[in-house]
Amino acid sequence: MRHPPTPLAVTFLPLMNPVLKAELRTLSQAERILLVEEIWDGIAAEPQGVPISSAQRAELDRRLNALEANPDPGRPWDEVRDELLRR
C-alpha cells in the first residue's frame, strides 16, 4: 500500500529529472532500499542542514533535560528479554 506523498514530496517531486525518475523505477525493491539508506546516510552526515521546528527543538530540549536529570541508562536488553521469557 502506498501512502499519499507528504507536502515536501509534493513540492519537490515535479523538480526531479524525469529520466532519473524513470531509471529509479527500474530498480528492484532491494536496490531501492539500499539507495534510500545511502541517501539517508548522506543527510545524517550533515544534520545542520535538516531544519527542525520550534516544537521539535522544545521536545529535544525536554528529552535532553530529562536525561541529564536522570542519567540511569535503564536495564540491558538481554536482562529484560530473559525476564520476559521466564514468565
Query: Is 63 part of a structural domain of the chain?
Result: yes
The number of folded domains in the chain is 1
pLDDT digits (tens, 9 = 90+) for 55-72: 999 999 999 999 999 988
Cell of 47: 544534520
Query: Is 85 part of a structural domain of the chain?
Result: no
pLDDT of 82 above 70: yes
Name residue, grid cell 536495564. Answer: 75
Query: Is 18 part of a structural domain of the chain?
Result: yes
pLDDT of 9 above 60: no
Give the three-state DSSP class for 44: helix
Query: Is 40 part of a structural domain of the chain?
Result: yes
Query: Is 34 part of a structural domain of the chain?
Result: yes
Arithmetic mean of pLDDT, 2-15: 58
pLDDT digits (tens, 9 = 90+) for 13-41: 567 888 988 899 999 999 999 999 999 99
pLDDT recorded at residue 7 = 54
Q: 41 to each of 13, 22, 68, 70, how far by Cα in Å?
A: 21, 23, 28, 31
pLDDT band at 4 (very low <50, low <70, confident <90, very high): low
Query: Is 77 part of a structural domain of the chain?
Result: no
Query: Is 83 part of a structural domain of the chain?
Result: no
| Structural domain of 61 | 7-71
